[in-house]
Structure 1
Amino acid sequence: MTRELVTARLVLRRPKPGDVDDLHQVFSSPEAMRWWSTTPHETMEKTAEWLDGMIAADPELSDDFVIEAQGRVIGKAGFWRLPEIGYILHPDYWGQGLATEALTAVIDHILATRTVERVTADVDPDNAASIRLLRRLGFEQTGAASRTWRVGGVWMDSLYFGLDRDRWKSLKTP
């Protein structure tokens, strides 16, 4: 299993217990967690529990990385459950192209190392930044559904996106 992906500005690596402090900065941020599948983490223990699950995930079903910039963990990107991609960055790092850089690396990785033919994403219809990011990477909307996630007692909706192996290859070829 690939331990590390390196891009121009980032290191994407497997999570470890010592990442809990930095990840708690992400997962306790209401702004970062606005579109996540849970409410912001109120305690370090909640983040540690989430991180333990990420570390213990079955490698046959999951291929996930923490995102490190300048030696600090600033988020996560990868496949929490293949073939669905998931990502989150601390708001201090938004708008710098880092999510594009991280997702490009994990998509390249998954298509090079797995037999996955299509990468998918589930995004809230109001998460305009994430929708723009996915479209910029070549994802196409494949569906929509109402009341798919219940977060903090509120029902959220979903837009579904997909990116197949051939489309990704054609977009990467000059």
Structure 2
Amino acid sequence: MRNTFETQRLTLQPICPKDAAFILQLLNTEGWLQFIGNRQVNTQNDALNYIDKILATENLYYWTVTLKSNGVPAGLVSYMKRSYLPHFDIGFAFLHDYHGKGYAFEATTAVLTHVSTILHHQYVLATTVSGNAASIKLLERLNFCYSKTIETENDQLLVYVRKLHGGF
């Protein structure tokens, strides 16, 4: 599922080594560190290794989201099968300058449309921490519903679910 997607304003391309500088920047933002966690990506080489691990892992997909208007990377959308969840999980993270502009909604909707119509996945999950109000608001806007809270090794996660068949 290394597809490229386009929306009215965005291009979503599978993550690749040329995205290393952007990954280094995004993974060290306050929002990423607070709500997702420190991935120990502190150098360009760390970012390349992070990308290599993603590309080598089955059922793990990341897209770099760039603005069509200028080609600048704004965020990521991920789609993965986590061992502790029964269905695939979608995620998103954007640089602060691109919050509140509808980019995360637009990009995530493109991936959800693909997994629903092409892959025929019936359910998609999303997880976040309770303090991430912006993520919760976006998940609700994307028609995800709170399902339960689970404990993982590092966090207490809110699990949201969305039934894909039947439309948005």
- State the TM-score, normalizing by the size of structure 2: 0.86
Q: Quote how far apart the aligned CAs of 1:32 are.
A: 3.2
Q: Which runs of 4+ in 1 moved over 3 A?
A: 37-40
Asked if the contact 1:122/1:158 (under 8 Å) is kept, the reply is yes
- Cα pair 2:40 2:46 within 8 Å, conserved: no
3-state SS of the aligned residue for 2:47?
Answer: helix
The percent of aligned pairs where both chains have the same amino acid is: 25
Structure 2 partner of 1:67: 65
- The offset of 1:114, in angstroms, is 1.1
Q: Which residue of 2 aligns with 1:163?
A: 162
1-structure distance, mates of 2:8, 2:48: 29
Q: Quickly say closer, same or farther: Cα 1:43–1:63, change in 2 above 3 A.
A: closer
Q: State the SS of the aligned residue for 1:107.
A: helix
Confirm or deny: 8 A CA contact 2:2 2:61 kept in the other structure: no
Please state whether the residue corresponding to 2:30 is helix, strand or coil: coil
Match of 1:83 in 2: 88
Q: Judge conservation of contact 1:32–1:91 (CA < 8 Å) in 2.
A: no
User: In the alignment, is residue 51 of structure 1 matched against residue 51 of structure 2?
Assistant: yes
Distance 1:76 1:56 in 2: 18
TM-score by length of 1: 0.83
Q: 5+ unaligned residues in a row in structure 2: which ranges?
A: 82-86
Gap runs ≥5 in structure 1: 151-155
Q: Retained in 1: the 8 A contact 2:65–2:74?
A: yes
Query: Secondary structure of the residue that 2:165 maps to in structure 1?
Result: helix
Total equivalences in the alignment = 161
Shift of 1:106: 0.6
Aligned match for 1:126, one of 127, 131, 138: 131
RMSD between superposed Cα atoms in Å:
1.9
Q: Offset of 1:145 from its aligned partner? A: 2.5
Correspondence for 1:101 among 98, 101, 106: 106
Contact 1:37-1:149 at 8 Å conserved across structures: no
Alignment match, 1:153? none
- Return closer, same or farther for 1:54/1:73 CA change in 2, 3 Å cut-off: farther
CA drift at 1:4: 1.0
1:79 deviates by 0.4
Contact 2:13 2:64 in 1 (8 A): yes
Cα shift readout 1:77-104 (whole Å, capped 9, x = no counterpart) = 0303361111111111111111001110
Helix, strand or coil at the partner of 1:158: strand
Alignment partners' CA distance in 2, 1:16 and 1:157: 31
Q: List aligned pairs for 1:35-46, cutoff 5 A.
A: 35-39=35-39, 41-46=41-46
Deviation at 1:157, TM superposition (A): 1.6
